[in-house]
Amino acid sequence: MRLTGTTLRDVAKGMTISEGIVHMEGGSVTFSGRYGISVSGGNALLSGFKITRQENKGTVAVADADTIANTVEDTVAGVGAGAGVEVSHLAKVMMKEVNIEGVKTGAYVAGNGFLVMGKGSISFKGDYGIYFDQGYALLNDVHITGSGHQGTGIKMGYGQLLMVDTTLKEVAEGMTIVKGNVSMVGGSIEFKREHGVLLKQGSVLLNNLSMKYRGSNSDATFLKVEGERVLNTANIKGIGIKIDGQDKARGVYVTNGGRVMLKSAIFSNLMNGVEVVNGQFWMEDGNIEFNGEHAVSLATGNVLLKGVIIEYDAGNKITKDTSVPNFFKVAGKGAELAAIKVVISGDKWERRKANGVYVKGGGHVTLNHSHLTRIQNAITVEEGSVWMGNGSIRFKGEYGLKLDKGQVSFNNIQMNYEGNGKVDFIKVKGRESTVKALGAIINGNDKGKGARITEGAHVKLIKSRLNKVDTGITAENAEITMSDTLISFKGDHGVSLSVGKAILNKVNMTHTGDNDADFLKAQGKGANLDANKVIIKGSKNKGKGLHVTQRAKITLLQSELTGIAKGIHIDSGIVNVRRSTITVEGTESDESYGISLWGSQKSTETHLKRSRRSTSSNLTTAHHIPNIPKISEVGVINLTLTTLKVPNSIAIHGKTAKSFITLKDSNISGDSLLEAKNGSAIMLATNNSSLTGGSQVDNDSNALFYLTNRSKWFLTKRKNQDLRKPSSLISGIMLKDSAIIFEKPTSDVYQTLNIGKGYHSIYLAQGDAQLHLNIQVGQDGSLDDDKTDRVLIYGSTAGGTTKIHMSASSNGIRGSGQGTVSSKANRNNNKQSVSIVQVSGAAKKDSFQLNHGYVTLGNSPYQYHLVAYGPGSELKADPQKRLVKGDGDFWDFRLEGKNIPFDPRHTDIVPIKPAIVPQVPTYLLLPNALFYAGLMDINNQTELLGTMVTSFDPFFNGKPAFFVRGYGGSHTYTSDLSALEYGYGAKFDYRAADAAVLLSTLESEQNSAFIGAIGTYSKLSLQPQDVEKSKKSNFDQWSVTAYASLQHNMGFYINGLLSYGLSRGDVETLARGKTARITGKPLRAALTGGKAFLTGHEGLVFEPQMQLIYQYLMFNSTRDVDGFNINMGSPSQLTTRLGGRLAQEFALMEEDSSVSFYGKLHLMGNFGGKQFVQFKDTFQLGAFGSSMEAGVGVQAQLSSQIALHGDVVYQQKLTKAGFSGSTFSGGLRYRF
């Protein structure tokens, strides 16, 4: 049937179709019964058709008796009655441009019916615009309008629905899907009550949908999923949807295993954004704008946000609600929220504060590449966990992170504080709380606190930066770990630990404020702070590098501290520093100290009494440090391989302090080393370490030093100290294999070290204990009581001997050699003695000795000795020369010049001459010793040539000949100078070996000549006689000699020698060992003439001889170990020898063999004046003298190739000065 423009009105039922096909175009039906059109069989096609109910029920139906409709419990009854269209029992209804209005239900679909509606509208007054009991529908450009007070636009019990450009408005709820699948593309939903879309089971796909809330219920929800407690049975997916909450509704609510997945969604004007309770929510891109309690609330389940912008907009409303909303609120175990590239932004007008993330009850939040801006407090965790990476936080509240039980990890995040109040960037408490930050950057605006950790919590900062914070880290009964981290702070401290543990590795700390801050502070028993490779830079020399109090402990390794007021500040506890450098450049007026020691006045006074009673036994016990208070009462500082420098103030400052300081392989230096006052008790023990600076101890304080194992204390004057009498004071000292070294004066100002306060043994020396003192010596060798360093001991000494090293300057010029300590003027004995050490108590004669038994002063070679005056010595101390306070006996160790002993019967005519050091006699004897060695070389080389002349033909028909000769001798030298002229005898030993070769020959009818070379190695030893502590010195010599010989057939001959060599040896004494290395270069020339005469007796030959010898010695200048220059100059000598020999030759049975015996006698004398050497003063050398030589020898020609010879010579001096002794020689000649 086809009906066109047909109108049915005033009927109870408009049309009933049970079979066939009805097509209606245009027209209308106005009915008052149950339905306008009923289709129970067949098909109906309605186009451009209007159905209107006048009263009671009305339905267009396709019946299906087997369909069981699901019950909808929350259906709101409408005003109208009946249904516009009813489709059931597998029937299909297709409507185009159909408008249904004035009905209770616009369309009812059941029994797997199928409704298609295009470009129409449904206006209903009852419960539903379309009700699906069971069926399917396709809506295109359909507009469903409710009564505005009640009703649901679409309710689906079971079925499938596709909507395109469909709108739902003036409804209480938009869609309710009990079970089914809905797809809505385009269109809009406007609702006024509980929800826009409610899904219980099934799936909903929303694409480019616009939703708006028109009601006033703050509990309304746009997308609500109430699953059947089975995961993934209720899903809403949306793309490009837009939600406008009118500042009241909630965007999404998911529960009971439901899931919502949105992309490019825009939530605006919401009260709350998303709430998930045991469900899942996923959103990519898009925006969420809210003004209520949260943007996302998760209680068990999962939330994933990607590229979402979340904004809080408080709007213009005025509220009395004081609660602060949270962007993310995550609670419960299994609640996990992940935000990737999410931007969280608070109210841009700051009309109401909002917090960023709130986690509790085991929830977890992941923030990756996300940013939190304009928020109050960024992250709050109360039993839960948060991971945030590659993002930023900008906040104005009380904290950036607050954690109470749980774990938080930051990776490459930045936190910026933009407020003006007190704030904690990281605030953690609880033993089960842990924060780990890797690559975190905190910018504090000079106000924020980097981290506050309490109640057993643990924070780890790795490769992080805390910039411009007020304070860095505060840990109270907690743990902090930092590595590769930078802290820049302005407030009270960089790291403060109150009980707990802190580990810092490669941390740089900079203070930018003007206050006295603590870089590393530990307080309370059980507080342990370990720092490795830390760099601390203070501001304007303010702040404390290490601050330890109340029995805490800090260990510092491989670190550097600069720009601070106090390197270490401690009252009780332990500080261990190893391989570090601490530099404090402030002044005492700024209260800048390297080590600042503090303590309570009462406890210090008690310790002082105990310390005084035990001082005696302590210092005299060889290997024990004195009893110290319990470790809980004292500050202990241990420095190992560490340098502490305080150039403008006091290195160690104690005020009411009880402290024990140890150094191993370390250095402490300051303008002043130590100051102890107000009842302080300080003990300083060093091992292979150095101390620099003076010391001051007031009457109520004690300071004990224990220097061991090559430790050194360099005693220096303060820059601003009274230059007239600078002095230092300590209470007691033990020197074990260590030294106290007084600073070398730069003017005529010398120092005094005062030790002790007049009771017990307060000076203990063990092993190689040393004192290095300075003294000024006048040009005449005089000493001045005011021009010397000295040590005054108020108490007793114990232990072994202290060796004193003296260093001198001349008239204020330090050892330059320009001053003169003259030996030529008479000395005033009253000016040759000055007190070096005085002891008010017990001591021994050998308690103090000069290091080598003597000392030289003023670059001169004269001896000064230390003489002990005291009750245990044969010499008593002079009370008028007493410098130590008190009465009675005392010891005075005085430095006095030593003079050459003289005959007391002639004091009126014999001047007082100073004694020289034991090596000087060797220097004075050396030129004559080398002359003596040169003569022996020339004599033996001449004998060698003479053997060639007188014994046989030396040329062997032009074949070369090789000669070897060895010789040596022992002689005694006697000087012509007296002891007062520094004349000394000596014993000389000389051993030499010659190797000669014939190089060329020239022959004529009457003459023969030959030339060759001789190489000589020799060893000379000499030892002065009657010189205390002298020792034999050895010299090696090498020389090369060229020789030439001219012989006449008549027996006349002339031999010439020219020699150049090197002499080198070490001068040694028993007192000093090696004192200098002397190097000389001798040049020698000799000319010898003679003639052999045959006597009447067969084989008997007489040979007179004359010899002229010149020697020239060139010495290198050098310096003696005792501090004076050695200038030997270039002495020379011309010597003549006159004499001859008588030889008897015997032929042997063998051919070309013979033997010859000879005797010889020579007189030797030298020419020239006096010669001198310089050892600051000029010293005359003893004369060489004249002597006679007599000897015998033998020559044997064993074959045509081999010849032997040997002789012995005795030498006897003929003048007051000269040599006496014997020489032996032997040789071999071989013809090739």
Instruction: Return the residue matching tokens 């590239």.
Output: 341
pLDDT tens digits, 1040-1057: 999 998 888 887 889 999
* Range name among 10-19, 196-205, 767-776, 1163-1172 with the lowest pLDDT average: 10-19
How large is the C-alpha radius of gyration of the chain?
58
Burial class (CB in 10 A: 0-12, 13-18, 19+), 1001: middle
On the question of pLDDT at 531 being above 90, the answer is: yes
Tokens of 483: 């590595």
pLDDT tens digits, 797-817: 999 999 999 988 765 433 333
Q: How confident is the model at residue 65 (pLDDT cuts 50, 70, 90)?
A: very low
pLDDT tens digits, 1120-1147: 998 899 999 999 999 999 998 888 887 7
Check residue 990 and give its pLDDT: 94
Beta bridge partners of 536: 509, 561
Check residue 954 and give its pLDDT: 45
On the question of pLDDT at 823 being above 70, the answer is: no
- Answer yes or no: are the C-beta atoms of 890 and 882 closer than 8 Å: yes
Q: Which of 574, 655, 658, 654 is nearest to 610 (CA)?
A: 658
pLDDT tens digits, 1202-1216: 778 888 999 999 999
Distances (CA, A) of 707 to 339, 625, 691: 65, 11, 10
Q: How confident is the model at residue 175 (pLDDT cuts 50, 70, 90)?
A: very high
- Answer yes or no: are the C-beta atoms of 547 and 502 closer than 8 Å: no
Check residue 719 and give its pLDDT: 85
Tokens of 1072: 């000093």
- Answer yes or no: are the C-beta atoms of 492 and 517 closer than 8 Å: yes
Q: How confident is the model at residue 960 (pLDDT cuts 50, 70, 90)?
A: low
**Residue-wise burial string across 1028-1061, b where 16 or more C-beta atoms lie within 10 A, e elsewhere:** eebbebebebebebebbbbbeeeeebebbbebeb
On the question of pLDDT at 948 being above 70, the answer is: no
On the question of pLDDT at 412 being above 50, the answer is: yes
More confident call, 1155 vs 1058 = 1058
Q: How confident is the model at residue 105 (pLDDT cuts 50, 70, 90)?
A: confident
On the question of pLDDT at 716 being above 90, the answer is: yes
Distances (CA, A) of 642 to 227, 494, 559, 575, 735: 70, 22, 9, 13, 21
pLDDT tens digits, 1010-1038: 888 999 999 999 999 999 899 999 999 99
pLDDT tens digits, 668-684: 999 999 999 999 999 99
- Answer yes or no: are the C-beta atoms of 75 and 105 closer than 8 Å: no
Check residue 619 and give its pLDDT: 54
Q: SS in 3 state form for 242-287?
A: EEECCCCCEEEEEECCCEEEEECCEEEEECEEEEEEEEEEEEECCE
On the question of pLDDT at 64 being above 60, the answer is: no
Q: Which of 1019, 1119, 1140, 1046 is nearest to 1077 (CA)?
A: 1119
How large is the average pLDDT for residues 485-502?
94
Q: How confident is the model at residue 37 (pLDDT cuts 50, 70, 90)?
A: confident
* Range name among 29-38, 694-703, 1206-1215 with the lowest pLDDT average: 29-38
- Answer yes or no: are the C-beta atoms of 719 and 746 closer than 8 Å: no
Single pTM value for the model: 0.77
* Range name among 310-324, 972-986, 1026-1040, 1165-1179 with the lowest pLDDT average: 310-324
On the question of pLDDT at 821 being above 50, the answer is: no
Average pLDDT, the chain: 86
Check residue 349 and give its pLDDT: 66
Amino acid, single-letter form, for residue 449: K
Q: How confident is the model at residue 1228 (pLDDT cuts 50, 70, 90)?
A: confident
Q: How confident is the model at residue 319 (pLDDT cuts 50, 70, 90)?
A: low
* Range name among 327-331, 849-853, 981-985, 1000-1004 with the lowest pLDDT average: 1000-1004
Strands (E), 12-98: 15-17, 21-25, 28-31, 37-39, 43-47, 50-53, 83-87, 92-96
Q: How confident is the model at residue 126 (pLDDT cuts 50, 70, 90)?
A: confident
Tokens of 775: 């003294």
The dihedrals phi and psi of 880, each to the nearest 5 degrees, come to -70, -15
Distances (CA, A) of 629 to 624, 626, 646, 656, 659: 15, 10, 28, 14, 9
Q: SS in 3 state form for 147-191?
A: CCCCCEEEEECCEEEEEECCEEEEECEEEEECCEEEEEECCEEEE
Check residue 613 and give its pLDDT: 46
Check residue 1066 and give its pLDDT: 95
Cα–Cα distance measured from residue 967 to residue 1223, given in angstroms and rounded to the nearest whole number: 7
On the question of pLDDT at 646 being above 50, the answer is: yes
What 3-state class would DSSP assign to 853?
Answer: coil
Check residue 382 and give its pLDDT: 94
Of 28-37, 720-729, 847-856, highest mean pLDDT = 847-856
Tokens of 958: 């032009």
Q: Which of 948, 1104, 1113, 974 is nearest to 1039 (CA)?
A: 1113
What 3-state class would DSSP assign to 1027?
Answer: coil
Check residue 18 and give its pLDDT: 76
Q: How many CA atoms lie within 13 A of 932 on its CB side?
A: 37
Cα–Cα distance measured from residue 373 to residue 375, given in angstroms and rounded to the nearest whole number: 5
- Answer yes or no: are the C-beta atoms of 330 and 278 closer than 8 Å: no
Tokens of 985: 């005898």
* Range name among 361-375, 535-549, 961-975 with the lowest pLDDT average: 961-975
Cα–Cα distance measured from residue 847 to residue 769, given in angstroms and rounded to the nearest whole number: 10
How large is the average pLDDT for residues 303-322?
79
- Please give the full DSSP string across 474-539, using - where no structure is assigned: EEEEEEEEEEEEEEEE-SSEEEEEEEEEEEEEEEEEEE-SSS--EEEEEEEEEEEEEEES-EEE-S
On the question of pLDDT at 959 being above 70, the answer is: no
Cα–Cα distance measured from residue 1115 to residue 1129, given in angstroms and rounded to the nearest whole number: 6
More confident call, 1054 vs 1226 = 1054
* Range name among 904-913, 1058-1067, 1163-1172, 1218-1227 with the lowest pLDDT average: 904-913
% of the chain surpassing 90 pLDDT? 61
Q: How confident is the model at residue 322 (pLDDT cuts 50, 70, 90)?
A: low
pLDDT tens digits, 537-596: 998 899 999 999 999 999 999 999 999 999 999 999 999 999 999 999 999 988 999 999
Check residue 781 and give its pLDDT: 76
How far from each other are the two terminal CA atoms of the chain, in whole angstroms?
Answer: 157
Instruction: Return the residue matching tokens 């000699």.
Output: 1041
- Answer yes or no: are the C-beta atoms of 535 and 520 closer than 8 Å: no
Tokens of 223: 């997308």
Tokens of 420: 């003006």
How large is the average pLDDT for residues 137-141?
94
**Residue-wise burial string across 311-347, b where 16 or more C-beta atoms lie within 10 A, e elsewhere:** bbbbeeeeeeeeebbbbbbbbbeebbbbbbbbbbbbb
Those residues whose C-beta lies under 8 Å from the C-beta of residue 1024, and which sit 6 or more positions away, are 918, 921, 922, 925, 984, 985, 986, 1030
pLDDT tens digits, 611-639: 444 444 445 443 344 444 455 579 999 99
Q: How confident is the model at residue 704 (pLDDT cuts 50, 70, 90)?
A: very high
pLDDT tens digits, 903-943: 555 555 456 788 999 999 999 999 999 999 999 999 988 88
Cα–Cα distance measured from residue 1037 to residue 570, given in angstroms and rounded to the nearest whole number: 66
More confident call, 878 vs 82 = 878
- Answer yes or no: are the C-beta atoms of 562 and 580 closer than 8 Å: no
How large is the average pLDDT for residues 1183-1191?
92
Instruction: Return the residue matching tokens 């919502």.
Output: 260
For strand 681-687 and strand 695-697, is the pairing parallel, antiparallel, or unpaired?
unpaired
Distances (CA, A) of 832 to 821, 835, 1228: 12, 10, 62
Beta bridge partners of 1077: 1066
- Please give the full DSSP string across 615-629, using - where no structure is assigned: HHHHHTSTT-PPP--
Check residue 679 and give its pLDDT: 93
For strand 180-185 and strand 1132-1147, is the pairing parallel, antiparallel, or unpaired?
unpaired
pLDDT tens digits, 603-616: 444 544 544 444 44
